[in-house]
């Protein structure tokens, strides 16, 4: 549990011991809490550990940076507006609507020139 905490952080986990056996035990909580409970008692038997995936928090990014990314993807990788928007949303976690509206403004202006 200590290695999980060091590598993945204090995530939610489920620790199941001796599944399908007479002394089955299931604990759920943060790694730090489960680890402290396990250190008090000897951990013996077969364990199954399920770790919650990392949460994706949106990146704080300026509009200028979003515009640069969109333009770069369109020019360098010949992406469609839709694909460029999807790529920026995937990289940043920003709302798709915000990025798409920005792309429409950029590319409608550049298409007129």
Whether residues 98 and 71 fall in one domain: yes
Name the domain boundary from 30, 51, 72. Answer: 51
Which residues neighbour 8 within 8 Å (Cβ) at sequence distance 6 or greater? 31, 51, 54
Average pLDDT over residues 78-93: 88
> Looking at the structure, do residues 8 and 43 belong to the same domain, yes or no?
yes
Predicted confidence (pLDDT) at residue 109 exceeds the cutoff of 70: no
Helix (H) or strand (E) holding 101: helix 96-112
Query: How far apart (Å, rounded) are the C-alpha atoms in residues 113 and 108?
Result: 9
Domain count, the chain: 2
Domain with 37 in it: what CATH number?
Answer: 3.30.950.10
pLDDT in tens, 37-57: 776 667 778 899 999 987 766
Beta-bridged to residue 28, according to DSSP, are 14
Residues 7 and 45 in one domain: yes
**Structural domain for 31, as ranges:** 2-51
- Of 55 and 113, the one with more pLDDT: 55
pLDDT score of 3: 87
Q: At what angle do helices 81-92 and 63-76 cross, to 10 degrees?
A: 130
57 inside domain: no
pTM above 0.75, yes or no: no
Does the structure show a pLDDT above 90 at 13? yes
User: pLDDT tens, 52-73?
Assistant: 987 766 667 888 999 999 998 8
- In whole angstroms, give the CA distance from residue 103 to residue 113: 16
Nearest to 51 by CA among 6, 4, 85, 86: 4
Residue 72 and residue 104 in one domain: yes
């Amino acid at each position: 549990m200590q290695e999980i905490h060091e590598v993945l952080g204090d995530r939610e986990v489920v620790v199941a011991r001796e599944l399908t056996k007479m002394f089955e035990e299931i604990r759920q909580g943060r790694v730090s809490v489960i680890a402290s409970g396990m250190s008090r008692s000897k951990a013996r038997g077969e364990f199954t550990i399920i770790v919650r995936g990392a949460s994706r928090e949106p990146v704080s990014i300026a509009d200028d940076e979003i515009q640069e990314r969109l333009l770069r993807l369109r020019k360098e990788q010949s992406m469609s507006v839709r694909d460029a928007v999807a790529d920026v949303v995937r990289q940043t976690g920003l709302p798709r609507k915000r990025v798409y509206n920005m792309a429409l403004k950029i590319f409608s202006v550049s298409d007129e020139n």
